[in-house]
Amino acid sequence: MAGALAGLVLGSIVGAVATIAGSYFLFWRRRRAALAHLRRAFETELSALSYIDEMAESGDYETLTQAVEAPVVYESNADDIGHLSGDEVEALVAFYTDLYWLDDQPDIEDKKERVHEIAEKRQRAVEVLRENE
């Protein structure tokens, strides 16, 4: 009787541990997939914003301030950005903060150096995202 009771308790414990381990594995796998999708979304948006580099390089600053588009991925996923690595968060926030600054500028002629820094920050964000894939 005691052996049957011990077997029942042991079976329950093993079953509980297996359930917890399986649930954690599924959670971890889903989280990893969600982060991969988030990184790809940011990479796609940053690639679409490559015109910033081209316009900065050609010196077309006035058109650039008028051509800046709202960063849809960044705005839609602001709550989830904290799940990325510290380097990714830093690079993305630095770029998007400057992108908002660029959008608010009526006259950019005296701030040309900062425009080139924005292009560099975009490239840095892309590099950091690709490193963490």
pLDDT tens for residues 80-109? 999 999 999 999 999 999 999 887 777 776
Q: How many residues does the chain have?
A: 133
Cα-based angle 78, 91, 51 (whole degrees, multiple of 5)? 90
54-58, 66-70, 114-118, 122-126: least confidently modelled range: 66-70
Which amino acid, residue 111?
A: K
- Cα(45)–Cα(52) distance, rounded to whole angstroms? 12
Q: What pLDDT, in 10s, does the model give residues 17-75?
A: 778 877 777 777 888 888 999 999 999 999 999 999 998 888 888 888 888 888 999 99
DSSP H or E run through 64:
helix 61-67
State the pLDDT at residue 48.
93
Q: Do residues 42 and 74 lie in contact, with contact meaning Cβ atoms separated by under 8 Å?
A: yes
Terminal Cα distance for the chain, rounded: 55
Residue 24 burial by Cβ neighbours in a 10 Å radius (0-12, 13-18, 19+): exposed
For residue 56, give both structure tokens.
């900065």
State the pLDDT at residue 1.
65
